[in-house]
Structure 1
Amino acid sequence: MKLAVSIVFLSLALLSSLSYGEDLHSHETKKDISGIESLSPELRELLTKEMLALQNGMMSVIPAYVTGNWSEIENISHKMKNSYILKQSLTDEQVKELHTSLPESFIKLDQEFHYLSGMLNQAAKNKKPELVGFYFSKLSESCVSCHTQYAVHKFPALAPEKMTDMHEH
């Protein structure tokens, strides 16, 4: 279970690192990026596929939600909770590589993502539109939180100083 949790959030952060975008931020971010860059090309390729699957899943929830297609949301959220590709594709060596590369805060974000995916699944099973919307929103926030902490080099608009500048009333 922890492996699946770690895989999804690692994949979220790692996909964004594939561009080798310019690092405009703190020493800690540079350290995290260098750890990501040290992963094997095969693992990075699997993570890229996982990230694209997660992105497609998130994007597919929206039309299913607005049309009340609860079974589709159940299917998508189940896959997100259990990972799309990585869980089935990782070798023992790659599992070890992931476990030695992940900071504790990353693991916590990953666990939260899988928990929220499970809650979205339950909301869809119970045909509760207000809860589906709530948990989808929480999943989106979870993605943004991870990108903010581990992928600002790919998503510079999520850098804390830029988010503060953009928030005006």
Structure 2
Amino acid sequence: MTARTGKFLATVLLGLAVSTSSVAAEPVTPKLTDKLSQLLQKEMRAVQGGMASIHSAMVMGQHESVAENAQQIHDSFILQQELTEQDRKDLMSAVPKGFIKLDKEFHKLAASLAEAGRDKDTKKQQKLFNKMTGNCIQCHGKYVSDRFPGVKSSGD
């Protein structure tokens, strides 16, 4: 699998998808294979840890740590290393296009956040971190509502 395909798939799973619509979609979790579900949970734990580290680093002015953690979220190598071609096909049949679009957006935001960390721009870091958090909320409210029934996307 190419690095680009791996990053794309990591992005797809990571967002479990941020959608531009506020209407709840059918949860994708039941459509995932056991392996994909486990990989997604592993990826989400890594993102959760990265987001917590970024928050702490931002409020302490540790720009290098913001950059490193945001870059790791952007790169998301777990899926690249562990998805087979069949896993990729299974994933693509389980998630809607809106999921993919918002997952790409999430990773693009992470790359921008890494850059803001390298630039030592705290204001921009906060703005991007907030957008990433919003994407997480949208994803969980729209595509993982079976696991997170208390999460409502803005506009829901």
Question: TM-score, with normalisation over the residues of structure 1?
Answer: 0.77
**2:65 matches 1:91:** no
Which deviates more from structure 2 when the two are superposed, residues 5-14 or residues 56-65? 5-14
Instruction: Give 1:15-54 correspondences, 5 Å limit.
Output: 28-29=25-26, 32-33=27-28, 36-54=29-47
* Cα pair distance change 1:78/1:160, threshold 3 Å: closer
SS at match of 2:145: coil
**2:132 matches 1:129:** no
Residue 144 of structure 2 corresponds to which residue in structure 1? Answer: 151
Letter in 2 for 1:117: A
Residue 99 of structure 2 corresponds to which residue in structure 1? Answer: 106
Residue 70 of structure 2 corresponds to which residue in structure 1? Answer: 77
Structure-2 separation of matches of 1:130 and 1:62: 13
Q: Percent identity?
A: 30
Aligned length: 148
SS at match of 2:150: helix
Q: Which is richer in helix? A: 1
1:84 positional shift: 4.2
Instruction: Give 1:3-18 correspondences, 5 Å limit.
Output: 3-13=6-16
* Cα pair distance change 1:6/1:109, threshold 3 Å: farther
Structure 1 unpaired stretches of 5+: 15-24, 165-169
SS at match of 1:153: coil
SS at match of 2:139: helix
* Cα pair distance change 1:48/1:82, threshold 3 Å: same
Structure 2 unpaired stretches of 5+: 18-22
If you compute each CA radius of gyration, which structure gives the higher value, 1 or 2? 1
Moved over 3 A (4+): 11-14
1:9 positional shift: 4.1
Question: TM-score, with normalisation over the residues of structure 2?
Answer: 0.82
Which deviates more from structure 2 when the two are superposed, residues 82-91 or residues 126-135? 82-91
Aligned residues of 2:137 and 2:153 also touching (Cα < 8 A): no
* Cα pair distance change 1:103/1:131, threshold 3 Å: same
Aligned residues of 1:10 and 1:110 also touching (Cα < 8 A): yes
